[in-house]
């Protein structure tokens, strides 16, 4: 008998998907999951050179992919990304906004307005612009948008005011877009991951005074006692694009339970309080 493992079933065959920031981390894993499920994927990053991933996945299939150089902070690059997608595959069924960045720890005292604006441009306006230029084509296919947000957009995070603000805005924008696009049967959903082990996480932990301890803390922040994987994000995105046909405006918490339970969160031990 042949295997019927769900992973081998072509759940998005011949559908066309754009993934921003698809060369590493969560984006790369999403690209892999969609190509493995028969999709034609257009993925981008800022680098000019074609990605090795493109060659690897073209050979492995069963779907197809192309790499397009695109800096999502540049509107003209996003226009070219959409044009390249239509030229190569003729349609767009799904846009996955993922390209983003988490700066190293910063307090408000050492954050400039320009740094905040730059992060808004990347993490929020980049998502908005990709949606703006993809939507005329998504309306024709009754397709969908998936915005990779973050759990911290709802629960906050220490020393990350601009990042938290951009992700909170992504989650809110997802809902507003879902409201407006429902008349076209275009679904707009978000995924809010907890800690996912990616090159970004590795880079941020290496900037901390004790990287090993930071990684242990990162794992312990989840009830499940580990970080999530890019592949788990890819599978969640595949669900929203395929079977999740009654989901719109949702914020899928992919967190291993990081938001649950009381824990020791007191940062004021030893300090005097007017309530003592
Ligand atoms: N890793 C986590 O724990 C975690 C948790 C919650 C949310 N997220 C979000 O998931 C997304 C991906 O994070 P990751 O951990 O995989 O990061 P990563 O740094 O490992 O990968 C980021 C990808 O985005 C691309 N990118 C960065 N700037 C770009 C630009 N200006 N134009 C085009 N592409 C650009 C990079 O080339 C890369 O392909 C981000 O939006 C991040 O905020 C990550």
Sign of the CA dihedral running 211, 99, 163, 176: negative
Please pick, among 12, 163, 184, 239, the residue that the annotation labels catalytic: 163
User: How far apart, in whole angstroms, are the C-alpha atoms of residue 108 and residue 139?
Assistant: 41
If you search the block for the tokens 């800022």, which residue do you land on? 46
272 inside domain: no
If you search the block for the tokens 């690897």, which residue do you land on? 56
Q: Is 74 in the pocket of ligand 1 (CB under 6 A)?
A: no
Q: What is the pLDDT at residue 88? A: 98
202 inside domain: no
Q: What is the pLDDT at residue 263? A: 87
Q: Is 239 one of the catalytic residues? A: no
Q: What is the pLDDT at residue 225? A: 97
Helices 161-181 and 126-141 pack at an angle, to 10 degrees, of 20
Average pLDDT of the chain is: 95
220-248 pLDDT, tens per residue? 999 999 999 999 999 999 999 999 999 99
127 inside domain: yes
Q: Is 85 in the pocket of ligand 1 (CB under 6 A)?
A: no
2 inside domain: no
187-227 pLDDT, tens per residue? 999 999 999 999 999 999 999 999 999 999 999 999 999 99
Q: Binning pLDDT at 50, 70 and 90, where does residue 3 land? A: very low
**Domain with 71 in it: what CATH number?**
3.40.50.720
Structural domain count, the chain: 1
User: What is the residue range of 107's domain?
Assistant: 8-197+229-254
207 inside domain: no
43's enclosing H/E stretch is: strand 40-45
Cβ atoms of residues 26 and 198 within 8 Å = yes
Residues 6+ apart with CB under 8 A from 5: none
208 inside domain: no
98 inside domain: yes
78 inside domain: yes
**For ligand 1, what atom is nearest to the CA of residue 167?**
43
**In the chain, what is the straight-line distance between the N-terminal and C-terminal CA atoms, in Å?**
70
Q: What is the pLDDT at residue 2? A: 45
């Amino acid at each position: 008998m042949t295997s019927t493992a769900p992973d081998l079933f072509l759940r998005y065959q011949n559908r066309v998907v754009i993934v921003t920031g698809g060369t590493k981390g969560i984006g790369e894993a999403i690209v892999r999951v969609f190509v493995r499920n028969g999709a034609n994927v257009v993925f981008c990053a800022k680098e000019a050179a074609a990605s090795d991933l493109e060659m690897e996945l073209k050979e492995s299939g069963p779907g197809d992919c192309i790499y397009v150089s695109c800096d999502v902070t540049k509107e003209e690059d996003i226009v070219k990304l959409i044009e390249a997608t239509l030229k190569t595959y003729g349609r767009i069924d799904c846009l996955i906004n993922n390209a983003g960045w988490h700066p190293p720890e910063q307090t408000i005292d050492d954050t400039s307005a320009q740094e905040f604006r730059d992060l808004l441009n990347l993490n929020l306006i980049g998502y908005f612009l990709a949606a703006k230029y993809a939507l005329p084509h998504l309306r024709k296919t009754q397709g969908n948008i998936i915005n990779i947000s973050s759990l911290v957009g709802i629960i906050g995070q220490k020393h990350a005011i601009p990042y938290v603000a951009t992700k909170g805005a992504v989650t809110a924008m997802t809902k507003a877009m879902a409201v407006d696009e429902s008349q076209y049967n275009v679904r707009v959903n978000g995924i809010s991951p907890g800690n996912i082990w990616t090159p970004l996480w590795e880079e941020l932990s290496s900037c901390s005074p004790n990287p090993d301890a930071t990684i242990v803390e990162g794992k312990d922040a989840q009830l499940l006692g580990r970080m999530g994987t890019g592949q788990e994000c890819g599978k969640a995105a595949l669900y929203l694009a395929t079977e999740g046909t009654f989901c719109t405006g949702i914020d899928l918490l992919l967190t291993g339970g990081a938001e649950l339970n009381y824990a020791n969160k007191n940062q004021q031990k030893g300090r005097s309080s007017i309530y003592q």
